[in-house]
Structure 1
């Protein structure tokens, strides 16, 4: 072999060695970059087995004792009887003993308002109380989307202790945007002319209006007030065609409750009572309510609407928490009676609060809504839980993502010390909340009264 050939071979071997060495060094670097990416995304890492709890999965299924939920990163890998855990499943996993506890899907409050009057300290305190109280998702039903987008991102990345936030972009008739709440929620801009608070009329290009609403990062379109029936129906049809959840007041005025049928969900059960007693009401407003004396869910006008609601498949956001016992407005007993009749007829009910909790209560306001569904609407505790889990996820259009505890869905769950099926008030016995695999131990929550807030 000549010196020239030897040199060529040596150089070739050196080049191959250098390439292999570089590749070997690149592997840990790539892994490090991926780890950093996972960390910055807020994604929980690793495998965890929550072993031994009684499973209440968010459906009508009977509870199952001594079950194990295997979580891989932010997803449920498997749900199996503890006795059937294999060595392969246990290998490398952190095991959390939850024997004697009860596990439910993470709860969802389907009607909140955290940015009608943006107040970041209050919102973060309320969100913190929710996540440490077992609430892993909230549906914000209109406010300043700029603020909500920021909160939603911080929650998703686990930079603040918070449920995931799914918010609405609102459309209404032009006359509604004199409402002072819209001025506050659009500060620096013109209410009615921004995509999260948008005025529509018969000249509006509806496909563009819905697309702009989606562009805010919203999860759904809220149809709010002062719109005629034909326009409400067109908005619902356009949102449905774009596969965008559409949420409305049951009655938008002057549109009737029947014009909102076909929406994903409608809010405020007593609006049908007001329609029956005040059919000619033409504009949104809370004042001057009629008498509801003697009215029940058996009224022919209410029964007719319930039948139409069943046929449409629209979900009902009852918001029992907004109805009181003072007799000045729709009474909680009447609201509960109508909700009971809807539920018995086959309407899916979701648990939304639409009311602030007291600042000195360490538990979520959603707990009270669940208690009202049981007390006033005759729900079983299991049916109330379904209203705040599986049904709520469906109203968000995210039933494939969460709402029940099955393999493949996000690891959103809450562990309770006491049986909520024996007493729905036991939803307050929270031990641990898990949201997308991240753990929020109740023992770590240091409650202080919430700051004063005006909506």
Structure 2
């Protein structure tokens, strides 16, 4: 049994929502937290190694629970449309790992990948293999939750690819029985979650966000199959109609905040279903990056047109008491790893910095049924912890620069360390020194 380690820090954010603790201590042993709190209240075991970092803040590892690590990101590809035709599935799988590591080294210790549609199919097995290689310790990376697309022909998620693209016929399904079979196939391949779609969306070509994607029976079949196999289902919803269909189907999480109604706000709050905003994908910054990477003008115009509705819906849901957890919808843009920009948007729209932190820690863990293990720095939980230069509870923007994330710990092991004399990283090349794959 390894000896305990006690981290003495200037400030401690334990993730429970309480005030920032001055002069905090976190004691870790065998990958779990033994105790955490003010220095005056925490007993440090005899023989424990003591690490003193009075200038740093300790906080839980962050969780980004809606992103697409297999999509072609602006940090690694010049033009996402070109890259769709130039990259083999084998290379694409390696980019999944690299993209996950880019998030990990910026403080995101848990990711939920929300699926992929490619010319070769869903690539569920490829994503599962990346997850398993990290879990087995072959490669360093974040804890990865795999959610596999389980959607129909011509759905929003099918239209991630251009309409004229050749498609793998096994990637989509139609009717309750086919949808159930696709759900079973995804779960057989090792998916942790299923991801389906109740409405149109924003970041694709000529498609209205208001269209219905599936019948109620199709959504019911996907959610039922997930629950029958003791897994979970997330549903893409842009409209009140889609939100109502998702609740009837038994969705475990609702993805995106775009349009809302007072009636559906009440129903979502009453159901307790967590909702993921994904606002970074809707910002002017994201639209500008999309423009550089070859997105058609029609799509750019649509993204800008729905932007104010997204912000209004976030404010309405926050005010109504909806359970909000963090996700970016990061795929093509912005740069993979800059996920903490999402939290700044939440603060700009009315959250306190601490509330925003909770969306990426406690709320996030509870949304994916991991609240007993992750999300807070409390006794008995897995030791996923960050050491941060600055106090994000005062200024949420301190979580954005790479150089402010001084150490990233997962399961009690430090994988990224930027403290002087301790230098360590999971990315073994100089940041941004790599060539763009389609350049």
Q: Please name the residue that 1:269 is paired with.
A: 257
Deviation at 1:378, TM superposition (A): 1.0
Deviation at 1:356, TM superposition (A): 4.3
The answer to whether the 8 A contact 2:325-2:363 is kept is yes
Q: Please name the residue that 2:270 is paired with.
A: 311
Give me the whole-angstrom Cα distance separating, in 1, the residues matched to 2:215 and 2:281.
Answer: 26
Deviation at 1:248, TM superposition (A): 0.7
Deviation at 1:352, TM superposition (A): 0.9
Deviation at 1:232, TM superposition (A): 1.4
Q: Please name the residue that 1:201 is paired with.
A: 175
Give me the whole-angstrom Cα distance separating, in 2, the residues matched to 1:331 and 1:98.
Answer: 45
Q: Please name the residue that 2:35 is paired with.
A: 78
Q: Please name the residue that 1:444 is paired with.
A: 424
Q: With structure 1 as the length reference, what TM-score do the two structures score?
A: 0.72
SS of aligned partner of 1:379 = coil
Q: With structure 2 as the length reference, what TM-score do the two structures score?
A: 0.75
Q: Establish whether residue 342 from structure 1 lines up as the match of residue 314 from structure 2.
A: no
Q: Establish whether residue 411 from structure 1 lines up as the match of residue 415 from structure 2.
A: no
Structure 1, 318-327 or 344-353: larger mean CA deviation: 318-327
The correspondence of residues 146-295 of structure 1 with structure 2, limited to 5 A, is: 146-176=125-155, 179=158, 191=168, 193=170, 197=171, 199-204=173-178, 206=180, 210-224=183-197, 226-251=213-238, 256-261=242-247, 262-270=250-258, 272=259
Deviation at 1:170, TM superposition (A): 2.0
Deviation at 1:213, TM superposition (A): 3.2
When the two chains are superposed, the root-mean-square deviation of aligned CA atoms in Å is: 3.1
Deviation at 1:212, TM superposition (A): 4.0
Q: Please name the residue that 1:354 is paired with.
A: 329
SS of aligned partner of 2:9 = strand
Deviation at 1:241, TM superposition (A): 4.5
Q: Deviations over 1:225-255 (max 9, x none)?
A: 63102331343344335432210101599x7
Give me the whole-angstrom Cα distance separating, in 2, the residues matched to 1:182 and 1:331.
Answer: 21
Deviation at 1:120, TM superposition (A): 3.9
Deviation at 1:192, TM superposition (A): 5.4
Give me the whole-angstrom Cα distance separating, in 2, the residues matched to 1:357 and 1:82.
Answer: 44
Between 1 and 2, higher relative CO (CA 8 Å, sep ≥ 6) is seen in: 2
Give me the whole-angstrom Cα distance separating, in 2, the residues matched to 1:204 and 1:126.
Answer: 32
Give me the whole-angstrom Cα distance separating, in 1, the residues matched to 2:302 and 2:45.
Answer: 59
The answer to whether the 8 A contact 1:48-1:93 is kept is yes
Structure 1 unmatched ranges of 5 or more:
1-34, 36-44, 274-301
Q: Over alpha carbons, which structure has the higher Rg? A: 1
Give the helix-richer structure, 1 or 2.
Answer: 1
Deviation at 1:265, TM superposition (A): 1.0
Distance 1:173-1:128 versus aligned 2 partners, 3 A rule: closer
Give me the whole-angstrom Cα distance separating, in 2, the residues matched to 1:145 and 1:182.
Answer: 17
The answer to whether the 8 A contact 1:125-1:450 is kept is no
Give me the whole-angstrom Cα distance separating, in 1, the residues matched to 2:137 and 2:131.
Answer: 10
Structure 2 unmatched ranges of 5 or more:
72-83, 117-122, 199-212, 288-300
Q: Establish whether residue 398 from structure 1 lines up as the match of residue 370 from structure 2.
A: yes
Q: Deviations over 1:340-386 (max 9, x none)?
A: 11011111112111124778x6x8221111111111x2111111111
Q: Deviations over 1:374-406 (max 9, x none)?
A: 11x211111111111112112222111101111
Give me the whole-angstrom Cα distance separating, in 1, the residues matched to 2:356 and 2:375.
Answer: 13
Structure 1, 312-321 or 168-177: larger mean CA deviation: 168-177
